[in-house]
Structure 1
Amino acid sequence: MKKILLTIVLWIGIGAALCPATAQEGEYRTAVKILMDKSGSLSAADTMMDQMIPALSKMAPQQIPASFWTGFRQKWEAKSRERLVDIYAPIYRKYFTLDEIREMIAFYETPVGQKLSSSLPAITREGFVAGQQLGEEIAAEMIRELQQL
């Protein structure tokens, strides 16, 4: 009987010791989710789905009905956001404290932070196009130089 009581007390003690860490991890994950939402990172998941679904649906348009893609997108819309937070929270944890995450959230709540958040998708799209053009320039120059060998 004493062994059983000792085991129960030990397990309760371990559980109590782990609770603050678990609560802090939940608070940290929540803060990262807020940050990702305010910074526009989570809306990137929607953009990704907006680009991916039409590309995939063109691969077999006759075999896969449009209703499948609509349902699939709806299913993954919320799921992908949660998965992104699950993926990024431990990464953020390596580099930022909870207080630093809170400071970033506060920044994104300012007018300039909101402007940055709303402008980032366009900046990213334009940067991607410019990056492609730069890549084409580099490739063309490389081909010219290789032809001179």
Structure 2
Amino acid sequence: MKKLLSLALALACGVLHAADPAPKSPTDELLELMDYENSSVETAMSTFDGFIDQMKANGVPAAAIGDIRKEARKMYVRIFSSPDVRKKFVELYDKHFTADEIVELTEFYRTPLGKKTLAAMPSIMTDAMKVAMPAVEKEMPAFQQKVGEIVEKHQAPAEEEPEAEDE
């Protein structure tokens, strides 16, 4: 009976051990600490709010604005909760930081200043966009004109069509 109990216990422990998730990579730990999904959604929404302002200025009804904003949030949640997108974010961090730097960033973000930095970053990005937007809007007409000139300069001259012969 003792042997049977020991065997059952060993099998149960083996099953439990096999169910343990694989250890997270340092970059996965960093993204988790950064609250990657929520902070990405909030950053995307702060950018989307610029479009919302344009819609309001163009007379889109307030009720529609609220519904549009809700749909945008749902879309961004789907995007940033996607395993494929998360994998690409991991690759992006791994491209720009060494493994040791990832560990250092993780350690920093666990400090009080690091936590404050993470908490403040979405607001900083939103405010930065608000600061830059008037300058962008002011420069846009001249920029669009320059883009038009560049495209025109690089377009191949229109080929002349051969004249039709009279029959």
TM-score of the pair, normalised by structure 1: 0.48
Q: Quick one: higher RCO (CA 8 Å, sep 6+), 1 or 2?
A: 1
Rg larger for = 2
